[in-house]
Structure 1
Amino acid sequence: MAFDFKPYTPASEFTTQAAYFSMEFALDQALKTYSGGLGFLAGSHMRSAYELKQNLIGIGILWTFGYYDQGRNEDQTMRCDFRHKHYSFLEDTGLIFPITIHGAEVQVKAMYLAPDTFGTAPMFFLTTDIPENDYISRTISHHLYDADTAARVAQSILLGVGGGKLLDVLGVKMDVYHLNEGHGLPLAFYLYEKHGRKLEEVQKRLVFTTHTPELAGNEEHPMKLLTDMTFFGSVPADEIRRVAGVEQEMLNYTLTALRFSRKANAVSKVHGTVANQMWGANKGICSIIPITNSQNGSYWRDQQLHEALVANDDQALLARKRKLKKQLFDIVADQTGTLLDPEVLTVVWARRFAGYKRADLILRHFERFQELVNRTDRPVQVIWAGKPYPKDYGAIGLFNDIIQKTKGLKTCAVLTGYELALSGYLKRGSDVWLNTPRFPREASGTSGMTAAMNGSLSLSIADGWIPEFVRHGENGFLIPHTDIYQPDHVKDNIEATSLLDVLENEIIPLYYNEPAKYLAVAKAAMREVEPEFESGRMATEYYQKLYNA
């Protein structure tokens, strides 16, 4: 074998050999293999695995065009740009091997990311965009979350079967295979064939993380399409129906993963309850336990802020925070021509643009919002950022609508290019991190963790990880959510009012009238978010509760 795979020596408590399969990884601004929160989470996991020296291998896909580059049209509205990506830091393993997609042989090439490059577990990225393939096969690894259904099914086969086969080609004896979300489900069928078509042999080795109650995140497709695409390898469809318990003609990725795994986890305590309500009535599923998502502190926290906190040096902390706000505001000015003031309370809403996340909730009672941001005394600045899926025209329309609605307001800005680097600037430069999902649809929502590491206070609906952390007025602020059975427009009206009430009646007076108390709340958030929501805890729990259980 041409490639000599010798990663670091694992720590004694993490010797179980595991592989982590994810459709996206956010490891560094330079490596465009992610779209949003799932990738941010997977990236933090790989960093903590490296810091803990866990015996873990990351398996992903090398996306030729990444996700997309978020630019602007002449009228400042959002544009999706697709550019070919090149990476000198990925090592060509020389490994090329075949997998079967749609009944045809497709060649897969493996690229290696060494642990010391970005401080991660050893990682392999798979591509079909090589001369050995025809054009259609080459496009399988072109676009993350391709809008074409057949292409997305092919991508799942590439991740699951390609990743499983790569580990066999490398000769690595795997103890545990970890599916991060259902995208890599064909791995289960690859293992099923490999181990004599015995379900119990797959269940000995496979664990699964389910990330979302959203239908779009729990993919399902007709059995005929999946059979035609060779989703199940050489296993007959009738055998899959029997083993996977498929009663209708649709196969659900999440439900099937739960039946092929020995254990699964949800990504917060709230989500654990929701996931068990969603799937618990189905026969043959494994147990679903909560392991709350977390983020890597050494990557996300500002070191000078952290040192000032540890030294209990309030003046140094405030001076650093002001400088971080200025750095963010330089980006705002460069992108939008809007000059913001570091002395003014700054609220940021930044995450993937999706309807249920309600980026525009703060604008719902627009006249009241205008009064808040236009005040000459105790003003408020608001910044938005985030990427919609490139074909989610509703979310793109919402993004552009916020630009249009706020373009006449000197204290508001909407930024493009929401990737790792900009996310870091926003978290370090914000005072308040706004999170407004429709309860209970945000499974975890980890961006507030990294904001809190940098002294930015959560103002959030009590969903995902928030109920495990925020104590109202002590280390953050909660927006009360109303009865979930109310119509959406009623919920939105009530919760938008609650949001503005908390902002106007509690946060603004605290920031301007009692700055010492405000600082105490910010410092409490910084202190308390770690270690409970730092990904070293999460990576350790994966070994304790999933891999070694």
Structure 2
Amino acid sequence: MSQSFLPEPYGHPYEIDPKYAKSAVYFCCEFAIDQSFKIYSGGLGFLAGSHMRSAAALKQNLLGIGVHWTCGYYNQTRGEGREMAVQFRRKEYAFLQDTGIRFQVPVYGKQVWVGAKFLPGEIFGTVPMFFLTTDLDENDADDRQITQRLYDNDPGRRVAQYIVLGAGGARLLEELKVDPDVWHLNEAHALSAAFRVLEQHEGDAEEVRKRFVFTTHTPEEAGNEKHDFNLLKNASFFGGLDEQTVREVTGIHDGIFNHSLAALRMSRKANGVSKLHGEVSRNMWGHYENICPIGHVTNAQNARYWKDRGLERARQNNDVEFLRDRKRELKDQLFRLVADQTGKLFSPDVLTIVWARRFAGYKRAELITRDVARFKKLITASDRPVQIIWAGKPYPFDYGAIETFNHLVRLTRDYPNAAVVVGYELELSRLLKCGSDLWLNNPVVTREASGTSGMSAAMNASVNISTFDGWVCEFAKDGHNSLIVPPADPSLSEHDRDLYDMNGLYSLIEDKALPMYYDRPDEWSQLVLNSMADVVPFFDSDRMADEYYENIYS
């Protein structure tokens, strides 16, 4: 066995498996580790949390670095008219240990104090983790706000957040007197770490490239951030490096700095987060010069954390009767929350469809409601009834996405079997996955890099009904373990593409799911069991964490 690369008292609580002896640090803006630790927004955090759990289970020599967001992302509540409301509240976490480590990083030409809090791996079953904060008495009010809100809406403050995560994380490693073999940027938010390393090695770009690897998570424009070059220079994003060095190393010579492009040029390897996304990423970035090779490691979720033990026992024993009974119990648990939030009483004997993830335009939360007459017919049918639940957190300043959320609240108000619930965090996500029969996923094809919610839904006896995108392309066998809308003709207009996908979903619900669920329950149970069996082990994050060491860190 090998030893942790971290000094005491911050070392790993286990002997390192020699297979994973290479030291690595994983930078991410958000980690969904536990319901009580509200420093995440959605899918990126869920993924990162699963990675930290699996890395610990595999006894990897990995360290996680994030930010202690003292006001979290936001609390999603309801206003007086039942519409969505946003609340920011300060949160305290007794399980975080103040290390006493303090150092300064330059932000807008000013030295800002950064503190480090430590999360021992034993608390939540993760690798050791540090969380950085500027919310310290040593800083003035403006600097304290840098690390208060995840993904702050102010562009200048958001750049400051990235400096704290990246350059601050690099400074923390200097304080710890460690230089890991691998510096993993999970998204480009922590890119300033690379400039800190470049500065420490007097502009030697190869010293940076031999250390850094980069994971890109989205082809979406908003997810590949760009900033005015002079804004970043004035913000001290490049540390003490001169402009010529930065431009030579990144190959960016105009006024707009593309963070993802720079990460691809400052890393030795990069990866997309599904097989399809790897192809999309190579097509997206391949025409740029001097980028590193882009492979893929398909995202996954931690089965030990997400799987209901009763459902899994039923799967292992092929016990259909117990599977149905346990599923009914889990639906009851979910429906108590639905009743508490909305006053609507759902039945555990009714086919329940759930759409739950971040509200964003390309995810098309309201797609099946666009044909109002067909939706009304579906939701009011008495012979084969349906229940539908929506949940998810829009970005708190994405007013288009918030309006979509509120539109669904208004639309479902008069239907006793359709509801929109708030507070989509880890525990609500678990309830929805355990309590749903169909997990609805209908992004515009090629725009969902991976998606992970359907993985943990499948682990809990919920059948994916989906467009053919992201991780689904590697999992789905239509009619065997899922229900899939074939890809639309790419020449279709946006309107016709959406109409095609909507009609495809209705056909799957009306012609396949409902008859199977109500008239052929044994066939339905077999579909569920096939889904549960096929999702593990490949979509368990143990496989993902292993692949990062084997294919990206190596």
TM-score category of the 2 structures, normalised to the smaller one: over 0.9
Look up the match of 1:288: 294
Q: Deviations over 1:250-273 (max 9, x none)?
A: 110100000000000100011011
Q: Is 1:513 matched up with 2:510?
A: no
Look up the match of 2:11: 6
Contact 1:265-1:288 at 8 Å conserved across structures: yes
Q: How many residues are paired up?
A: 548
Shift of 1:238: 2.1
Choose the corresponding residue for 1:121, options 118, 127, 131.
127
Shift of 1:2: 11
Q: Deviations over 1:183-221 (max 9, x none)?
A: 111011011112221111111000000000001110010
- Which amino acid in 2 is paired with 1:6? G
Q: What does 1:391-406 correspond to in 2, within 5 Å?
A: 391-406=397-412
- Higher deviation after alignment, 80-89 or 196-205: 196-205
Look up the match of 2:3: none
Q: Is 1:170 matched up with 2:172?
A: no
SS at match of 1:4: coil
- Which amino acid in 2 is paired with 1:294? A
Look up the match of 1:351: 357
Look up the match of 1:238: 244
Shift of 1:372: 1.1
- Which amino acid in 2 is paired with 1:120? T
Contact 1:347-1:434 at 8 Å conserved across structures: yes
Look up the match of 2:432: 426
Distance 1:199 1:2 in 2: 28
- Higher deviation after alignment, 313-322 or 327-336: 313-322
Look up the match of 2:552: 546
Distance 2:393 2:493 in 1: 27
- Which amino acid in 1 is paired with 2:10? F
Look up the match of 1:256: 262
Distance 1:97 1:71 in 2: 37
Distance 1:475 1:373 in 2: 25
Look up the match of 1:63: 69
Distance 2:231 2:427 in 1: 39
TM-score normalised to structure 1 length? 0.99
Shift of 1:173: 3.3
- Which amino acid in 2 is paired with 1:7? H
Q: Is 1:189 matched up with 2:200?
A: no
Task: Label 1:208 to 1:496 Cα distance change in 2 as closer, same or farther (>3 A).
Answer: same
- Higher deviation after alignment, 477-486 or 389-398: 477-486
Distance 1:436 1:308 in 2: 29
Distance 2:516 2:216 in 1: 39
Q: What does 1:370-381 correspond to in 2, within 5 Å?
A: 370-381=376-387
Contact 2:10-2:120 at 8 Å conserved across structures: no
Q: Deviations over 1:379-429 (max 9, x none)?
A: 111000000000000000000001101111111000000000000000000
SS at match of 1:428: helix
- Which amino acid in 1 is paired with 2:387? Q
Look up the match of 1:267: 273
TM-score normalised to structure 2 length? 0.98
Shift of 1:502: 1.0
Look up the match of 1:298: 304
Distance 1:526 1:502 in 2: 20
Shift of 1:7: 1.9
Look up the match of 2:235: 229
Distance 1:294 1:386 in 2: 20
Q: Is 1:74 matched up with 2:80?
A: yes
Distance 1:120 1:3 in 2: 17
Contact 1:301-1:450 at 8 Å conserved across structures: yes
Q: Deviations over 1:19-78 (max 9, x none)?
A: 000000000000011000000000000000111111000000000100000000011000
Contact 2:11-2:128 at 8 Å conserved across structures: no
SS at match of 2:210: helix
SS at match of 2:393: coil
Distance 2:377 2:79 in 1: 30
Contact 1:453-1:530 at 8 Å conserved across structures: yes
- Which amino acid in 1 is paired with 2:399? Y
Q: Is 1:34 matched up with 2:15?
A: no
User: What is the identity percentage for the equivalent residue pairs of Structure 1 and Structure 2?
Assistant: 51
Q: Deviations over 1:347-366 (max 9, x none)?
A: 00000000110000011111
Look up the match of 2:331: 325
Distance 2:249 2:168 in 1: 22
Shift of 1:489: 1.9
SS at match of 2:66: strand
Q: Which runs of 5+ in 1 are unaligned?
A: none
Q: Which runs of 5+ in 2 are unaligned?
A: 1-5
Contact 1:3-1:95 at 8 Å conserved across structures: no
CA RMSD of aligned residues (A): 1.1
Look up the match of 1:134: 140
SS at match of 1:112: strand
Q: Deviations over 1:133-192 (max 9, x none)?
A: 111111100110001000010001000001111011112231100000011110110111
Distance 1:6 1:198 in 2: 30
Shift of 1:314: 1.3
Shift of 1:3: 7.1
